Every structure is written in structure tokens, then in C-alpha cells.
Amino acid sequence: MEPRQARQQPTLVEELALWQAGYARVAGIDEAGRGAWAGPVVAAAVILPADPAMASRLAGVTDSKQLSAGQRERLYAVIVQEAVAWGVGAVPAAQIDAQGIAAQAKDTPS
């Protein structure tokens, strides 16, 4: 087992590299609930503007489990205000129970 590394604050290092490579939109994604015994799985995606100064405007954003409810609410408002686009999706526990956590997408007609 490898020693646990100290948690680092999020940066825009990856986004900066992609923006410099010519990508106009870069989405950051995260999920919560996978592996939970009950409850939904929720996933979110956020596209930030290609602006290196974004890091300072998003100071304090980190893993939601490390934040208080009040901090999450405040940072949610900042992220929504700064984002080019964002979205959230949820799958209820009953659907996960019926299909499994890694259910395959159904083929849809073209």
C-alpha cells in the first residue's frame, strides 16, 4: 500500500494546458454516491471560461466532503455565476438497484 499523499487544493493546470492546446471548452466532472448503500448517484459537469484568473475567483473550491454546508452553498453560487455551462444529473436508488451501477446505455434509433 502506498503512503497516503497530502490533499492538494484544486488548480487549473490541466485546463490551462488544454486551453493552450486550442481546446475552447473543457468540462470538469464529478460524481457522488457511487458505492453508497442507498440513495441516488449524482453527477455534475462544469465548463469554465478559458481564463487563468478563474483560479483566484474560485478560491476555496475543493472536494465537497471537505466543506461545510454553508461553504458548499456559497461556492455553488460562485461556480454557477462563473461557469460557461453546467449541468447536474441524478439516478434514483431504485434504478441503480434494477440496472446496476454501471448499466450500459440503451441503443437509440438514429
108: pLDDT strictly greater than 70: no
**Extended beta strands in the chain, E state:** 27-32, 41-47, 85-91
CA-CA-CA-CA torsion for 34, 35, 38, 39, nearest 10 degrees?
A: -10
* Predicted local confidence at residue 8, as pLDDT: 66
Closest of 95, 109, 108 to residue 41, by C-alpha: 95
Q: What's the whole-number mean pLDDT along residues 79-88?
A: 95
The domain over range 28-99 is classified in CATH as 3.30.420.10: yes
Task: Dump pLDDT digits (tens) for 2-14.
Answer: 554 555 677 889 9
Q: What's the whole-number mean pLDDT along residues 38-43?
A: 83
Percent of the chain topping pLDDT 70: 82
Distances in Å between the Cα of 52 and the Cα atoms of 29, 31, 79 are: 19, 25, 15
52/2: higher pLDDT: 52
Average pLDDT, the chain: 83
Compute the distance between CA of residue 42 and CA of residue 31 in angstroms, rounded to an integer.
6
